[in-house]
Amino acid sequence: MKKAFTLSEILITLGIIGVVAAMTMPLIVQKVDEIVMVNRLKKIYSVLSQAMLYSVAKNGDISSLSVKNNSLSSINNWYTNALKPQLKITKECVDTEGCWAKGVKILNGGNPEYGRDGVGIGEDIIVFQTSDGYSVNIDAYDYSADGRFGVKFKQNGSDFLAVFVDINGYNNPNIVGKDIFMFIFSPDVGFVPAGKHESDDVVNNNCSKKSTSNLAGYYCFEKLIRNNWHVDKNFYD
């Protein structure tokens, strides 16, 4: 007599396998998404850091290029002569639609400060797309002795650049803190994440879905670094 499983036993076994798969697959997908996000963030941070700092070494500093708040021509001059030659750019938009996703939100569901749907974040901005799928949004802000966006500046008085990077372009979720991250570039602090000089409490409160700030999510890259590049289940709480 040959021994074999009955049909009911096979169906029960397959059912158990299906339940286990249904329970574990979301965790596996989440982990894969986290790895992809972190790797893309590390890559663009490295590439932009080198490009930004090289522009300082080559041209003196961004104040020598006369980058000024509300001066699109000065930002375009710096971008064209100092940054663009170092990157593989497939498309660029000078304060116009076409390079930035529509429907961008901040982490608590609100709208970004100076957000312009389909154009970008800021006024008098340049947005470009890279060959590997990133969208980069550049704006200039007035220097502040007290610091802005969680970054403390030295007393040189030069304006600085705010840089938003969307790591997957037009693809969802298009939320600041989840796939869009903010950086600051200044000749005295270099290229650093927003929130660089804030306390852990301030950074954690900013990178939270519960934040009431109109800048909710702006410090999430800094939080990710402090969390050893790990997005745990409570990361956005």
Convert the pLDDT of each residue in 47-66 to its tens digit: 998 888 777 666 555 555 56
Whole-number pLDDT of residue 21: 63
pLDDT > 90 in the chain, percent: 58
**Would the pLDDT of 151 be above 80?**
yes
As a whole number of angstroms, the distance between CA 94 and CA 130 comes to 15
One-character DSSP codes across 62-122: TTTTT--TT-HHHHHHHIIIIIGGGS-EEEEEESSSSSS-SS-B-TTS-PPTTEETTTEES
Structure confidence by residue, pLDDT tens digits, 221-235: 999 999 999 888 899
Residue of 147, 96, 138, 144 lying closest to 118 (CA atoms): 96
**Would the pLDDT of 190 be above 90?**
no
One-character DSSP codes across 179-193: TEEEEEEETTTEEEE
Whole-number pLDDT of residue 31: 58
